[in-house]
Amino acid sequence: MIIHVVRPGDSIFLIARQYGVSPQSIIADNELTQPDRLVVGQTIIVKEGAVRHTVLPGQSLFIIAGIYGVTVNAIVNANPEITDPALIFPGQILIIPDVIGRLGTIEVNGYAFTNIDRNVLNKTLPHLTYLSIFSHEVTAEGTLRDINDRPLILEAYRAGVAPLMVVTNLLPGAGFSSDLARAVLTNPVIRNRLIENIAIKLNERNYYGLDIDFEYVYPEDREAYNTFLRLVVERLRPIGYQITTALAPKISADQPGLLYEAHDYPVHGRLTDHVILMTYEWGYTFGPPLPVAPINQVRRVLDYAVTAIPRDKILMGIPNYGYDWTLPYVPGTAARSLSNVAAVQQAIEVQTAIQYDMTAQSPFYNYYDVQGRQHIVWFEDARSIQAKLLTVNQYGLAGVSYWTIMRYFPQNWLVLESLYNVYKVFS
């Protein structure tokens, strides 16, 4: 697999000729709806093909190897006509090998709401290990609000994907509630009733496991949350259910803040089968313009996480969206969420080049709207996804979790499948 970054003058025809593939294959693999319209900085994946480098005056194999991040021996092995590595000449065309290859097998989780487009769901399921169906909201009485999850559960099993029931402390039509979490975590009667209702629902709907996503729990309820988790595990694991929890992206055990303090990494790591680290939302709806999941910040979270949680239990969160902020940023104003595909389409429409932040490993661009207001857009592309997926291997993690799979991003799955085999619970 090759990630080609569009340059001035590029076309799909020229890119295809460069890598020795058909234009139709590039269009189909990237699901390009307007293949005749590209923008500088856009990523195009060439699924099958090879990089062909034309030797320039003064270039040696050592210099060329450094350009592509490969070894001299790898280039020599890919070009058997080279009999003496010191003898190459300007104009000579060399094949540059893809040296990353598949790195092993990982687990992949994807969150979906019940109203997901069925075509998007069916295209995504082959790439998943787990489908986390969002969400059964708990009530202050220890019951669960019902959702229309049966169709997704059936589709998951048909595709060999394990469905997980997600329970949350969300209020209907609102956000996560600290008070609701306190009501169900600190009252033993309500807590036990909730656990029994969870067990009933898991059995009734034929779920494979449970994903607990309790957020903004009061810091003083940390031990109550730990107790709840221990009781859930004691109740559900003996009858065959897997337990997963979603955790805020902490960089230290004592990180302050309502989002972080009640999430006890060592306890969750010890009790659960998996933890999902929500390593995204540095750039968020009501916050200042920032990359959504800058790799340097993600790695800070992982640096702490692997000291507190077994690596083979960690699923690293990956966002499947971007944000468009109006500038200058005014605190309290909302950014507009958009898909990664829509972000590129917008760049094409406004005719602005996509740039790439090497520290954050994230693409972005600026533009002016019809009212003359400046905007900045941060999103994900093939390069940023590859950087995140390589990080999984570097840290020896179990895999990744996508928030969410509601909008199909073909380049993500092309990159993932080029790097890893996806573990399937049901073969």
Residue 316 contacts residue 400 (beta carbons within 8 Å)? yes
Containing 3, the helix (H) or strand (E) segment is strand 2-5
Nearest CA among 204, 127, 104, 217 for reference residue 170: 217
Identify which of 323, 319, 276 has the alpha carbon closest to the alpha carbon of residue 301: 276
What whole-number distance in Å separates Cα of residue 29 and Cα of residue 11?
A: 16
Say which of 137, 215, 281, 380 is annotated catalytic. Answer: 215
Question: Residue 347 half-sphere exposure, CB side, CA atoms within 13 Å?
Answer: 29
Which token pair is 140? 């202050």
Residue 427 near residue 421, CB atoms below 8 Å: no
H helix intervals, 208-293: 222-236, 265-271
- For 201-222, the DSSP string reads HHHHHT-SEEEEE--S--GGGH
Q: What is the maximum span of the chain, computed from C-alpha positions, in angstroms?
A: 80
Based on the residue annotation, tell me whether 215 is a catalytic residue of this protein: yes
Q: Enter the tokens of residue 113.
A: 């709401």
Three-state DSSP class for residue 241: coil
Q: Which two three-digit tokens encode residue 61?
A: 């194999």
In eight-state DSSP terms, residue 56 is P
- For the stretch 44-71, what's the b/e string if a residue is b when 16 or more beta carbons lie within 10 angstroms of its beta carbon? bbbbebbbebebeeebebeebbeebebe
Active site residues: 215
